[in-house]
Structure 1
């Protein structure tokens, strides 16, 4: 239950509380004030309503709850570990790169015990004694730094009171299960935990991966399964085997109990119509492995389920829609392909750009798209809207990113679509999207949320503090920007390197700060650490007012050892401070963003900092990973690739909250409720208000 409570607090910033009982004189109010003071030290605070609810509880209960709340928010902000720095006085007294190496070499030569290895013909400087490992304790670091001077600009995140743990968990479960967009891997794990506690299924589960996770709990409890395609059953079997419900990675299917085999075959038999057997060849090998575990020949009363495995073995033919469409397109029968795709509205709209360039006529294709719009999901409509608004002219580059955030770029060689064609297509999409939006009632919008990108997919973005979808833009306050990485190796020696690539306004003339270049005129590196059995942290300071480059791209490289998704812990974030504000290298109340690193690439590009024409700085979220090399990745080796990727994302016109807000305002309303959209929910909203913040923004995506 503690995991469930921490999940609710971290995802909703709400503290689950049971209904208050009869008030009794106690020291609950004192304990609540003490908890609030402890929370302020890490950048959180209790709302007045939460303080009032806590004050009515017995003091001992407040203390017990406070310990759990404080532990959760410290982990959320990254303060659950000790952030030491290689150079104890960082950002002061950091030696120049050559000065540092010369001093380290001199120190080694003067050490008699170290003399033999340095007399070799060649010398690996990274193996010098003392390099890459802490030479002082965390207590020494604290003693070398003054206390942080709190300023009004420091981050303060408000915690609100919630209902009972059961009520809050159920609300979070319905939100995740009913999401219109694919969830991140961490959110799928959260949904799996919640589904084991919440028996009721939402009315609609539009994302197949979410449905598979919910079905895992239903299968374990013996409840009817929610499936309408044969692939739903395969996803469920993979999930129950501890594998990938997205089917992107092959799963080793486990053995099933007889009751489980019967339930899976019964569900498969109910949906395995001839029209749906065409989905089987796409995952032929996985179906073969599943057939070996389910023994369909033992269940003759499920004949249609047996047909699925016959198709997988090649004993029965079943042509899928995709193969028929590809055949028609390859043979130049585009009109036939359009006719076939009209049976799958979402598939037609996903191919609309290609069809408009190769179809029989733009008019025929647009008419088909107009008919298909009513049958496609809201996420498909919004994704197509964003795509088309970027097709008036060739882009700097086309970015391709998989479900794990691994990205690559290619030149955009597609011819632009005609303005008249685009105008008609966009008008069709706008009309259909507006029709599906709910009645907003009285609409209240925080202006700071307008430039947040709509979360059309959450797979690449790990949940965390202050996280926004890819393409979102927000302002950067403060004169000092400090980003950081922390990691802890699981088994073998692991070396991550924090670096910063600085570019001019044309994304050229690169310079960098990293372990090979400790500083330039406006940025300073905290020092290189090459192993992390107990955890290691690296920092880079950027003095924004002195920056001679308007584009700063933080990077995290796997130099050696475990990749991000194998390390015991790995996370990135950034802080902002006043230029004169002192304190430790890591101060939780100045952290603006923190999230885990877990992509499959070996170079992480979490975000980019940009200076605008007005001199102010902004941050744009990337959530990208480069494949990199098996080892020895450095910022010098990916400057061209990173520059093209960053430029492609920065110059792309992402679909933002502003778009839906404009449609909602044009829609008008006579309803009596209030809809609030913002970065944080303010106090004083009327009861029954619909509240959308970054953590629940996916709920604003129409069905």
Structure 2
């Protein structure tokens, strides 16, 4: 194994191409090698090395397919060592196993103090009263007190066991690993050899050689470029990794349209990053621009900013050829629509216009100049520029020069005026020009409308629904179907750089049930219509367990995670096992000394706050919840790790119903300033199982903390229900010295509000979406239940997709034996444990044994994007 294959990476670093395809396809690509013939035994060193590699992979929760094992045995010993080391490094990075995970109490959970207050009192007394070369103030022993390095605190080795602590017992900051106080830790008993395999267990397949890898990278790139919504941070990172396999001067891979605006900006910025390729890339890039905001996003991305326009920094210099090309693209647009777009980001556009020097090109690009002048509301005089602007306005429909000002209609203001006047007819007429806005305002319109107005609104919805993006369609459908009953709270997910939520009291009156039903039926029919345009299949399989998952939304703020679980989704906790939460972070030069804290807030069935397990209370109900100790610094390169063990049975006996997990930055250092920060969840064997504090095989989820927030709320655990709900949101807090008990009210509101939202049906479930698509595409649908039973539904004569979809999941089955599921060409699964035929499409939260060479693997976002093809 060569040193060149090992590298140190931070959480925020983009993974390489091999790691990207490993995560997305479960495929390992090996260099073409002249290995042994089928009738020749592999080299003994290779055979032994492959066996050892398989054991290492199993200990991380991965298995090898026979084809991959055969390909590995064909390598020479040196290549096998290099490829194996690189593969393990990528997997360790994905799990977080490439970091040191020593907790404060090295023998956690056994050695966590039973009395947090007494332990704190001893620390305070020793800190305030201990003197050098004096007996210990706690035990009176002599010659046992020494100063630690580098904090210089005086610590008694008799009172504080150096074999158990990994940091200073008084300040909990990391100390020099060579300090004599840190005696060798006691040998921990090995983990139980029969510990369970993780639910995320996946079989790794042989993808082929590096030429095949490039082709597969192209397929994954095509998938990302076809997504209709904003990409998640992980998908954005993968996009850049996949782009490195393409050529800027040969653009046959570039589609004629990229539906997601942020994705388009990032791709165009990548194209234009090399000035040498500008003769080819500038025409190709500007051909994809069709709105003024496209130009702004591109300019921001070229300057290293956020293509989502959440945080726009200073614009960098723009080369003259590109400047002219962007002005030409702006000039092609209708000035009225361009100005409307520009008014959404007026400050940014004014700064960009200065970089583009628009007024210098008034003769060449008159419409672009007119749009910039209208945005800046310049005063017309008798100069040459004003004359040119007046002449352009005179030949531009809907634009005019009114005295010394340019006038262009402002569509949003007209819509707001109509809504304020309760003029439903006018509002609908305006909104039909923007179908997405019509559906976003649908609830408001229905509240304003009388009986005739409702008919007008629903007619308009039927007319424009086919031109709405899938995300807007599903969002409107979910939000509207809960409006026949009075709710208590409204939950918003505002666009921004962090996954924050905004919860307010529900003040809207319910909508009439008949109106809600008609509107929901219209939107559902549109979903089924679009799904029906996809290729038909004979047999589809849907796992009932997908009902707990939510169709993805607000992905631009989703955390990079080991398992891509849509926000709001709920999964069962394996029975009879315990949860171990973990948090790891490493300080950087910009962050300084940083103290992150892993905490759990405990609530009863009425969401009343009843306790905590954090640095202020290391144990709750004896050992129902146990904290590993509060580390208050995390110097590089080792950083620091904290754990919390949760025994759900004992917590239930103590009256706990809900657990809200929280990561606080105690001194309010934002996560994105840290060199490394991630957290996650292990599902461990029966209580009392021993082993290392961090066991890669037991990691079920691992997610990065890279947002500009200082608080993360990853999930809620329903103790009585035995489920975990993935929230992945930030809680807005101010000040510092954060602790759970200081934010109990906010966490109550957050936990109760989000749990209520995701259980109300206000968000379309992934299981629902799978059922709709299966009903629209398949003649036979088989539903697999959690107990292993199957229900068979065959489309009846004259049964339309809506009726078929409504029947799936009900007792109205066809009562016939289930067909062979291995013949299904469409599958929506929790685990990919069905040997599907070549060419099948499959979504699986845990791909398990699905082979990417024969099956088209779908992500949750692909199920949404599939509804965009026929808009």
Q: Are 1:539 and 2:643 counterparts? A: yes
Q: Does 1:241 align with 2:303?
A: yes
Shift of residue 45, structure 1, vs aligned partner = 2.2
1:463 paired residue number: 560
| Residue 101 of structure 1, CA deviation | 1.3
Residue of structure 1 in register with 2:778 after alignment: 669
Q: Distance in 2 between matches of 1:529 and 1:16?
A: 41
Partner of 1:270: 332
Change (3 A) 1:487 1:325: same
Match of 1:45, SS? strand
TM, length-normalised to structure 1: 0.92
> Residue 9 of structure 1 aligns with which residue?
22
CA distance in structure 1 between the aligned counterparts of 2:772 and 2:616, rounded to whole angstroms: 50
Whether 1:520 and 2:620 are equivalent positions in the alignment is: yes
The aligned residue for residue 162 of structure 1 is: 207
1:323-347 CA deviation, whole Å, 9 max, x = no partner? Answer: 2211222233332111100011111
Aligned-residue offset at 1:486: 0.8
Post-superposition offset of 1:109: 5.5
TM superposition shift of 1:23: 4.5
1:29 Cα deviation from its structure 2 partner: 4.3
Between 668-677 and 533-542, the greater mean CA deviation after superposition = 668-677
Shift of 1:288: 1.5
The alignment's C-alpha RMSD in Å is: 2.7
Q: State the partner residue of 1:697.
A: 860
The residue matched to 2:101 in structure 1 has which SS? coil
Matches within 5 A, 1:116-265: 130-134=170-174, 143-151=186-194, 153-155=196-198, 156-163=201-208, 164-198=212-246, 199=251, 200-220=253-273, 221-222=277-278, 223=281, 224-225=284-285, 226-265=288-327
CA gap 1:400/1:141 in 2 versus in 1, 3 angstroms: farther
Find the residue that maps to 2:778 and give its secondary structure: coil
Deviation at 1:296, TM superposition (A): 2.7
Question: Does the C-alpha gap of structure 1 residues 52 and 678 become closer, same or farther in structure 2, counting only changes over 3 Å?
Answer: farther
CA contact (8 A) 1:601 1:625 kept: yes
Partner of 2:505: 411
Which shows bigger deviation, 672-681 or 508-517?
672-681
- Secondary structure of the corresponding residue to residue 510 of structure 1: strand
For residue 571 of structure 2, give the secondary structure of its aligned residue in structure 1.
Answer: strand
Query: Are 1:132 and 1:528, in contact at CA under 8 Å, matched by a contact in 2?
Result: yes
Q: How many residues align?
A: 692
Q: Select the structure of larger CA radius of gyration.
A: 2
Distance across 2 between alignment mates of 1:8 and 1:664: 27
Deviation (angstroms), 1:595: 0.4
Aligned to 2:395: none
1:558-600 Cα offsets, whole Å, 9 max, x none, are 1115211211111111111121321111111111111001233
Given the superposition, is the C-alpha separation of residues 685 and 501 from structure 1 closer, same or farther in structure 2, using an over 3 Å criterion?
same
Match of 2:64 in 1: 46
The alignment partner of 1:651 has SS state of: helix
- Specify the SS of the correspondent of 1:51: helix
Aligned position for 2:799: none
1:369 matched to 2:369? The reply is no
Moved more, 55-64 or 668-677: 668-677
Q: Confirm or deny that 1:597 pairs with 2:697.
A: no
Distance in 2 (CA, whole Å) between partners of 1:203 and 1:503 is: 53
Q: Counterparts of 1:301 and 1:410 in 2: how far apart (Å)?
A: 51
Q: Aligned partners of 2:828 and 2:779: how far apart in 1? A: 18
Residue among 99, 102, 105 paired with 1:87: 105
Q: Deviations over 1:150-186 (max 9, x none)?
A: 4352313322222422123212212222112221234
Distance 2:407 2:22 in 1: 51
Distance 1:661 1:187, change over 3 A: closer
1:658 and 2:767 aligned:
yes
Query: Equivalent of 1:397, from 471, 482, 489?
Result: 489
State the alpha-carbon separation in 2 of the partners of residues 452 and 57 from structure 1. 42
CA contact (8 A) 1:241 1:252 kept: yes
Per-residue CA deviations over 1:434-464 (Å, capped at 9, x if unaligned) read 1111245221334433422111331222121
Offset of residue 673 of structure 1: 7.0
Displacement of 1:66 in angstroms is 1.5
Partners of 1:29 and 1:59 within 8 A in 2:
no
- Aligned twin of 1:384: 476
Residue 180 of structure 1: SS of its match in structure 2? coil
Instruction: Give the aligned partner of residue 503 of structure 1.
Output: 603
Gapped regions of structure 2 (runs ≥ 5)? 1-13, 138-152, 155-166, 379-405, 781-822, 846-857
